[in-house]
Each structure stands twice: as C-alpha cells, then as structure tokens.
C-alpha cells in the first residue's frame, strides 16, 4: 500500500512540475514581440516574461545604477491593449515616470544621476481584452554606460617595456 501511494504521489509531483514548466515556456515567444532597440543600448540587464491576470498589479524591484542610460520595453500582443508602466521610488513611492502621461508608450529611455532602487509597476489598462484568465507580457531592460578614462585601469605590465 505504501509503495502504491508513493508511486501515485511521485506521479502527481512529476505531472505538476511538467505543467508548471510548460506554462512558463509558453510565454517565451512574447519577448520576440519587442521592437529592436537602438544599438547604443548594447547590454541586456534583464529579459523576463510574466503571466498576468487582467486585474493584477505586477511589481518588480530593480536597481538602476547612476550615470547609466536604460531602455525599458514592455513586450506584448497588441490585442491586449495598453499597459500602464510606472517607475516608482522604492523608498517613498514617489513616481519618477508614468507612461499614462506619455500616451501609454511601451518603451522609455531613463537614467538617474545616482544609483536608485525602484519599483516597476505594470497594470493592464484594458483588462476586458484578455481572452484568457492569464496572458503573457515581457519586460526587457537594456543599458548603456560610457566608460570614463579614470575608470579604465592602466595595464600592470605594459607590453614592450
């Protein structure tokens, strides 16, 4: 009896893990929907997909480093309508940027003079357009940072000397 129960439990756990993995993989294609980014932003800080409920408020904590330019992109199917993206100060909740003030654009360029921990808050503006209980969106953050001459270390053993 214990052997049969163990086998059933193992089968349920395996099927559950496979279902979760399949569900996570089903969102991978949404990142292909992001428009190409300017060549300036040649380093990727983050590329993730999320399954959202129509009324869900997705909150992502991220650190933006000072003197670095960032390009943030929401990747989605056009049929889902607009998404609101707010960039909030982690410490006090002040709004640094809200795409609702910018015609709900799916991409922004942003930088800070000093390092900031922020909350990226994403909500669906048109939840009635979700054809399923949960739909996929993607978030891609690319960056560019100018290397200053004083940050580049001199070689310790120059060639030819």
Tell me the CATH number of domain 30-146, given options 2.30.30.90, 3.30.70.260, 3.90.25.10, 2.60.120.380. 2.60.120.380
* pLDDT of 25 over the 60 cut: no
> Where in the chain are the domains?
30-146
Res. 21 pLDDT band, cuts 50 70 90 = very low
| pTM of this structure | 0.73
Alpha-carbon span 154 to 118, nearest angstrom: 34
Query: What confidence score (pLDDT) does residue 7 get?
Result: 65
């Amino acid at each position: 009896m214990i052997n049969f129960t163990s086998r059933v439990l193992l089968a349920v756990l395996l099927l559950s893990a496979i279902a979760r993995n399949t569900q996570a993989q089903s969102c991978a294609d949404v990142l292909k929907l992001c428009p190409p980014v300017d060549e300036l932003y040649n380093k990727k800080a983050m590329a993730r997909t999320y399954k959202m409920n129509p009324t869900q408020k997705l909150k992502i904590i991220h650190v933006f480093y000072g003197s670095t330019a960032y390009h943030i992109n929401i990747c989605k199917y056009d049929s889902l309508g607009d998404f609101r993206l707010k960039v909030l100060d982690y410490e006090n909740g002040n709004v640094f940027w809200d795409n609702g003030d910018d015609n709900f654009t799916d991409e922004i360029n942003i930088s800070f003079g000093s390092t900031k921990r922020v909350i990226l808050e994403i909500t669906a503006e048109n939840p009635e357009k979700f054809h399923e209980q949960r739909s996929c969106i993607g978030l891609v953050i690319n960056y560019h940072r100018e290397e200053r001459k004083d940050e580049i270390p001199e070689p310790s053993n120059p060639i030819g000397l």
